[in-house]
A = this chain, B = another copy of it.
């Protein structure tokens, strides 16, 4: 257990390619916390004080608009972290993180993280890289929201989820987490109604198989095609 934990640490992009010795120091500076399912791990609007890496369990990062509209920024699986915001002084979280299942996390204080960065500059560089990648994803999603129709956005969301949370089964790739139509809608930037329609149509075509709060991808290639092409005219008839 202590072993797999160390592995997770070294895997996380913020702490990757650090010497064993350093990793131990980093590890020693953190405390472990347990969160029961559905807890809010951090709350939007609270002072941003900690950086955390999820060790086991899954969580989601979400944001609520002034009007109550909720969006999901990303799903967080074991090994992923959040809260680099805490290197800012006097800043608040702009999102909440909610445990989907029971979770275990390593927790560093913002100041601790800064001290680590100053002692081991590599960490700072790594952190910049992480943030750059994240910004690229954010811009990607902005562009998609602006230019792609709902069907494609949902397809892309599912593909992303497949990467992070997919699990092979003999029926296809199961998104291994409770995922209601509404969840998927909040993650795709649309409504649960539109998601329902899209998913239904796909399930008729055999692309996915749906259940209560569950999605299984049956035909990954087809889904990829949908994600790209403007619209899939799907009858293979005359050209």
- Is the interface on chain A under 10, 10 to 19, 20 to 34, or 35 or more residues? 35 or more
- Let me know if A5 is at the binding interface, CB within 8 A: no
- By a CB distance below 8 angstroms, the chain B residues around A139 are 63, 73, 94-95, 138
In the complex with contacts A118-B125, A127-B128, A142-B145, A133-B88 CB distance below 8 A? yes
CB distance from A129 to the nearest CB of B (A): 6
- Let me know if A132 is at the binding interface, CB within 8 A: yes
- Let me know if A147 is at the binding interface, CB within 8 A: yes
- Let me know if A30 is at the binding interface, CB within 8 A: no
Give A133's nearest chain B residue, CB to CB.
B88
Q: Given the complex of chains A and B, what is the CA–CA distance between A140 and B139 in angstroms?
A: 11
Assess the A143–B88 pair: CB atoms within 8 A. Answer: no
- By a CB distance below 8 angstroms, the chain B residues around A133 are 88
- What 0/1 pattern do residues 93 to 136 of A give for CB contact below 8 A with B? 01100000000000000000010011111111101110111111
- Let me know if A146 is at the binding interface, CB within 8 A: yes
Assess the A128–B87 pair: CB atoms within 8 A. Answer: yes
In the complex with contacts A69-B146, A94-B139, A142-B145, A122-B118 CB distance below 8 A? yes
- Let me know if A59 is at the binding interface, CB within 8 A: no
Q: Given the complex of chains A and B, what is the CA–CA distance between A129 and B48 in angstroms?
A: 13
Which residues of chain A from 138 to 177 have any CB-CB distance to chain B below 8 Å in the complex?
138-143, 145-147
- What 0/1 pattern do residues 63 to 77 of A give for CB contact below 8 A with B? 101010101010000
CB distance from A107 to the nearest CB of B (A): 18
- Let me know if A85 is at the binding interface, CB within 8 A: yes
- Let me know if A184 is at the binding interface, CB within 8 A: no
- By a CB distance below 8 angstroms, the chain B residues around A119 are 121
CB distance from A70 to the nearest CB of B (A): 10
Give A144's nearest chain B residue, CB to CB.
B65
- By a CB distance below 8 angstroms, the chain B residues around A95 are 139
In the complex with contacts A118-B121, A142-B145, A135-B136 CB distance below 8 A? no
- Let me know if A84 is at the binding interface, CB within 8 A: yes
- Let me know if A189 is at the binding interface, CB within 8 A: yes
